[in-house]
Structure 1
């Protein structure tokens, strides 16, 4: 202790310099320290969220929740599996033993879900969430007015969301509300019965004739030309002229047995701002990113 005191008395400039370094280092660290609502949580719980619009809760349980539950119970590290089945929505919660990282848990769950690809209803895409995913929501906005709901949603989804994804620390931007442009096909049942057809035949014909394909490259004179086939249905006339029965002169066009019009895609929830239709979006941050920094850059 005496030697230390003697050194401090003899070398005051060195001590002042060391104190200054410590003080300014602390100030710099305090100003640049990442700030978050809660500490980084590694709770080994994975939620499997699956949407099936217009399906009753009983159908959700039978077609989605039970097959996923049965598959998750085959994982050795799983402690508990629980599910909630609502109209159009299934949530299966998988709790792993402590010591299992969230990354490993998600990988195992993804591998098990891949085995259910041919068992779950067509078009169903389960989405994974964990506790940390919910905490990564840092800011929400509601936009309304100025234009129609279809254009407003397209602006937010394709323009604004794309720009926000370039902000440092942003991991995803989820868009809700607004309207989506759609073509409505109203089939006359008596005409289908006369042609011995069903609605499934109409749906299959629409899917078959609404495709985009790439056929590769064509080499000509040291140049490569991309061969691409765009067979998407873009106008009302494209849909009306679609043959549902292709048999030469006896072909039947969709426009002759159905009423085709332009409208809006069905929706099961409404987002409003000040009482009028609106579009909302949620910004999620990357793990480890500063909440305050991400919010400031988004604004």
Structure 2
């Protein structure tokens, strides 16, 4: 068959297939994932545990080695590196690099279950085991919510959390993280003079606060065919409840905490992280695109949503753009074409 002759004698058919090819190409290009950087998987995991007051030797024997033995039982672990410091354990786990990236979600789930299995074997004073495997997330779109002087960090955080809730539901958004959140704490300032005359020691105060502010399972009550859950609320709900806590000394004497100390709400000092922009306190809002997602379309939707949200913000709060992966992706795509 002479293809050249057929093409010359049947131009309409050739034009038809050419049109279909061009339309298919434009549709495929529009459906392609568009990101500034290619997605990648960091095949490593960091496991941290706090054991306050313990020496590095106690941490090694009672925490680190127990976690290591459990992790080593996984067949895909390449190597493990651990570090034990006074009150702190860190276990660095690396998987075989030949493992396909799409398999790691299941692998991380398996390792997390293994870690949870050893939690009951750790000392009761040890913290919950913290697992971090999110090293591959790239926040290609970044904003900062700032507030004029006069707003508290609590108010700034509340509005940042509200913005996060609005953004996380947008198509192609995989994750929204907030940066620069200030840790809220309660300070108890003890008067040494009042304490010396009361027969109460600082350890008595610490023990009373710790015992009172615990979540416990109160059980259930069966009445015929009905089962009723018993809810014993014992945790602190306000500063007033902390101030009215009754402290019992070694000799059995009792006194309110308010008569020994002042209780104030504050932020951790020094802070772990703190963000400012244009001289104003702020909270960063990072948006990550899902694997295979279109950052250009997602970025446009994020911008539209933030315009709606900004109209609801009080005077003095402002959303500032810092980095826009969608705009860079558009420039890169146009340069390619």
1:137, 1:284 within 8 Å by CA — same for their partners in 2? yes
Q: Hey, what's the Cα distance between the residues in 1 that align with 2:265 and 2:59? A: 34
Which position in structure 2 is the counterpart of 1:95? 95
2:51, 2:127 within 8 Å by CA — same for their partners in 1? no
Give the total of aligned pairs: 286
Q: Hey, what's the Cα distance between the residues in 1 that align with 2:239 and 2:189? A: 13
Q: Hey, what's the Cα distance between the residues in 1 that align with 2:175 and 2:24? A: 34
Which position in structure 2 is the counterpart of 1:175? 178
Measured after TM superposition, the shift of residue 259 of structure 1 is: 1.8
1:191, 1:257 within 8 Å by CA — same for their partners in 2? no
Length-normalised TM-score, structure 1? 0.75
Report the CA distance shift for 1:294/1:79 in structure 2 as closer, same or farther (over 3 A): same
User: How do residues 179-198 of structure 1 correspond to structure 2 at under 5 angstroms?
Assistant: 179-188=182-191, 190=195, 194-195=199-200, 197-198=203-204
Which position in structure 2 is the counterpart of 1:78? 77
2:77, 2:93 within 8 Å by CA — same for their partners in 1? no
Larger mean CA deviation between 250-259 and 28-37 belongs to 250-259
2:48, 2:90 within 8 Å by CA — same for their partners in 1? yes
Report the CA distance shift for 1:191/1:200 in structure 2 as closer, same or farther (over 3 A): same
Report the CA distance shift for 1:59/1:139 in structure 2 as closer, same or farther (over 3 A): farther
Aligned: 1:24 with 2:23: yes
Consecutive unaligned residues in structure 2, runs of 5 or more:
304-337
Which position in structure 2 is the counterpart of 1:222? none
Aligned: 1:15 with 2:34: no
Q: Hey, what's the Cα distance between the residues in 2 that align with 1:192 and 1:123? A: 35
User: What is the alpha-carbon root mean square deviation over aligned residues?
Assistant: 4.1
Which position in structure 2 is the counterpart of 1:203? 209
1:60, 1:90 within 8 Å by CA — same for their partners in 2? no
Measured after TM superposition, the shift of residue 271 of structure 1 is: 1.9
Q: Hey, what's the Cα distance between the residues in 1 that align with 2:230 and 2:116? A: 32
SS in 1 for 2:119: coil
SS in 2 for 1:194: coil
SS in 2 for 1:103: helix
User: How do residues 234-245 of structure 1 correspond to structure 2 at under 5 angstroms?
Assistant: 234-245=237-248
Q: Hey, what's the Cα distance between the residues in 1 that align with 2:144 and 2:52? A: 26
Q: Hey, what's the Cα distance between the residues in 2 that align with 1:274 and 1:69? A: 46
Report the CA distance shift for 1:292/1:54 in structure 2 as closer, same or farther (over 3 A): farther
Which position in structure 1 is the counterpart of 2:262? 259
User: How do residues 129-144 of structure 1 correspond to structure 2 at under 5 angstroms?
Assistant: 129-130=133-134, 133-134=136-137, 136-144=138-146
Measured after TM superposition, the shift of residue 285 of structure 1 is: 2.7
Measured after TM superposition, the shift of residue 273 of structure 1 is: 1.7
Consecutive unaligned residues in structure 1, runs of 5 or more:
219-224
Q: Hey, what's the Cα distance between the residues in 1 that align with 2:104 and 2:204? A: 47
User: How do residues 264-279 of structure 1 correspond to structure 2 at under 5 angstroms?
Assistant: 264-266=267-269, 267-279=271-283
Q: Judging by fraction of residues, say which structure has more strand.
A: 1
Which position in structure 2 is the counterpart of 1:221? none
SS in 2 for 1:50: strand
Q: Hey, what's the Cα distance between the residues in 1 that align with 2:238 and 2:299? A: 41
2:205, 2:247 within 8 Å by CA — same for their partners in 1? no
Q: Hey, what's the Cα distance between the residues in 1 that align with 2:22 and 2:51? A: 59
Length-normalised TM-score, structure 2? 0.68
Measured after TM superposition, the shift of residue 152 of structure 1 is: 0.5
Measured after TM superposition, the shift of residue 67 of structure 1 is: 4.5
Report the CA distance shift for 1:97/1:182 in structure 2 as closer, same or farther (over 3 A): closer
Q: Hey, what's the Cα distance between the residues in 2 that align with 1:172 and 1:109? A: 22
